[in-house]
Amino acid sequence: MNLKEEISSCVKMYTKDLFSYTIPKVHRKEVAEDLVQDTFLSAYQSYKNYKGKSNVKTWLFSILKHKIADYYRSKYKQDIEVDFDTFFDDNHRWKSEYRPKDWGNEKELLDDPKFSQTLQDCFKKLPVKWSSAVQMKYLEEHDADTICSQLEITKSNFWQITHRAKIHLRNCLEMKWFKQ
């Protein structure tokens, strides 16, 4: 069997497993598909280095894990940095111009389809890891340990990410919804 046939065989046998592993890590179908495709491309390009010390599936998963890590590293570099001094005074209290506004009855807001769409639009503006962390915590109600494990981050990073994401979501909603 030549290299092209071997890789084609691997694609047929392992795509579903690789995709199933990736989707909970990145929470976006298109990104998961791209990462799996990149995994097979890398496997094809580096097949001559494969020594057979592990089975092919293990080798592919190893490549995929590196691809996921690279994806988050590149996203992390793109993350918007929040200058917390902008929002808080020297006593760590909200500055008056940035103090959260009263949004009224949250239950009514969540029942409003237009608000839900605006919230989804604001989520899309967040870096992927931030969005994933907040959705897993507040919408899917996962605990911090589970989220940290799935996103491969530390607990302190998780709390920092969720705090920053909440500030960005609040600002986005106040600009797009409450200032209408």
> Rounded to an integer, what distance in angstroms lies between the CA atom of residue 158 and that of residue 154?
6
Backbone angles phi and psi of 90, in degrees to 5: -65, -20
Helix (H, G, I), strand (E, B) or coil at 88: strand
Q: What is the pLDDT along the chain (180 residues), one digit of tens a residue?
A: 677 788 888 899 999 999 999 988 888 899 999 999 999 999 988 888 877 788 889 999 999 999 988 887 776 655 545 555 666 677 767 677 766 666 666 667 778 888 888 888 888 888 888 989 998 988 888 999 999 998 888 988 888 888 888 888 888 888 887 765
- Identify the pLDDT of residue 101: 64
- Identify the pLDDT of residue 16: 95
Q: Enter the DSSP assignment of 71.
A: H
Contact 95, 133 (CB under 8 A): no
Helix (H, G, I), strand (E, B) or coil at 94: strand
Domains of the chain: 3-78 (1.10.1740.10), 84-178 (1.10.10.10)
Q: CB 147: neighbour CB atoms within 10 A?
A: 21
- Identify the pLDDT of residue 99: 66
